[in-house]
Amino acid sequence: IENHDHWDTQFASTSFLGLVVGRRLRILADEHCHHVTVRCNNRDFLLHRSQCRDVLLGAVFRAKARYHFHVYGVCVMSNHVHYLIAPKVACELPKIMQAINWYSAMCMNRILKRKGHFWEARYGSSSFPVSDHRRVLNTLRYIHANPKDAKMRRGFVYEWSNYRAFSDLAEDGLTTWPAAYLAMAPTLSGCARGYRNFCRKYVKQPKPTRRPGWGSKLLPAGLGPARKPNTAIRRQGPRTPTPGQYEIFTELLQGNVLQGKVPGTFPISPATSETWPALRPPGVFEFTTANHWPQAASGQGPATGFKHPT
């Protein structure tokens, strides 16, 4: 490895077996820019407030004053953020992202009155040379087209992106024009006109379908990834359980209710008890059509509580 290249190795971890579990290392080279994507935890829409988006951009200003990096592109969406940045010191990319994410997470958790992780575990990053003008412009256009792709805007103009710094030469105090943009025309007005025409030619590319991970293959039959609820099936009544679901629910019932490990009621609806009669122990649960609450075999109702079987 040459002196001007740096390897980001701070994300290496050790498994419980003592083996090094490596994730893909980032090569941080000089004269490279990085397309960074940061998502909210669980992909929740935590950036829907304009106040939170302003705080995030303020965190970028704060980090830029400390580390002196170039911000070519930025777009703050409702649950993720896109950056196109070029650090002056290649190895400072992790420090830059730590400064932005830590400060913004602390502030926005206070605004939203929440606790816990605000961002996902690791930010995504892809690097390429600044001299690759075609890729720089394509990445900029992709970042600025995010609101349009999400059908939040009809065009490229968006309050929380720096598109107008390229299309209208607006001064935002944050954006630096890359060499690829300045090479589009001999004048700045020509560059702006050329970038607007370049964005008009944008065509959304379909994203590749994700295959289920290795963990889904270990699930019993019928317990794959979660799907959207089918209201038509709900109107027709409960579905017939698969053998895998039947075994799992039987094991839960035997371990949690019959053995008395977890005191209290077991959430079995009348429809479930009719579909799976073996899951309803005789003489333990009785259901009424009026309230769907379990009653003990001794005749106690919902008002007097539930008598756990012994």
Q: How would residue 141 be classed by pLDDT, with cut points 50, 70 and 90?
A: very high
Q: How would residue 100 be classed by pLDDT, with cut points 50, 70 and 90?
A: very high
- Name the residue among 45, 55, 51 with its Cα closest to residue 118: 45
Position 150 scores a pLDDT of: 92
> What is the distance between the alpha carbons of residues 72 and 142, in angstroms, rounded to a whole number?
13
Give every CB contact of residue 200 below 8 A, 6+ residues apart in sequence: none
* Residue 122, helix vs strand vs coil: coil
Rounded to an integer, the average pLDDT of 220-226 is 56
What pLDDT digit, counting tens, does each position of 25-73 carry? 787 889 999 999 999 999 999 999 999 999 999 999 999 999 989 999 9
Q: How would residue 209 be classed by pLDDT, with cut points 50, 70 and 90?
A: confident
Give every CB contact of residue 308 below 8 A, 6+ residues apart in sequence: 260, 263, 264
Residue, of 212 and 54, whose pLDDT is higher: 54
> What is the distance between the alpha carbons of residues 202 and 184, in angstroms, rounded to a whole number?
17
In the chain, the percentage of residues whose pLDDT exceeds 70 is 60
Angle between helices 93-112 and 50-67 (to 10 degrees): 150
Rounded to an integer, the average pLDDT of 279-289 is 40
> What is the distance between the alpha carbons of residues 73 and 201, in angstroms, rounded to a whole number?
19
Q: Which residue's structure tokens are 């109107």?
A: 235
What pLDDT digit, counting tens, does each position of 3-22 carry? 444 444 444 444 444 555 56
> What is the distance between the alpha carbons of residues 188 and 234, in angstroms, rounded to a whole number?
60
* Helix (H), strand (E) at residue 203: none
Position 84 scores a pLDDT of: 97
Which of 5-14, 147-156, 201-210 has the weakest average pLDDT?
Answer: 5-14
Position 205 scores a pLDDT of: 84
Position 73 scores a pLDDT of: 96
What pLDDT digit, counting tens, does each position of 255-283 carry? 554 444 444 444 444 444 444 444 444 44
* Helix (H), strand (E) at residue 82: strand 80-87
Which of 128-132, 192-196, 260-264 has the weakest average pLDDT?
Answer: 260-264
CB 29 within 8 A of CB 61: no
> What is the distance between the alpha carbons of residues 213 and 217, in angstroms, rounded to a whole number?
8
- Name the residue among 213, 234, 235, 233 with its Cα closest to residue 224: 213
- Name the residue among 93, 38, 101 with its Cα closest to residue 71: 93
CB 84 within 8 A of CB 143: yes
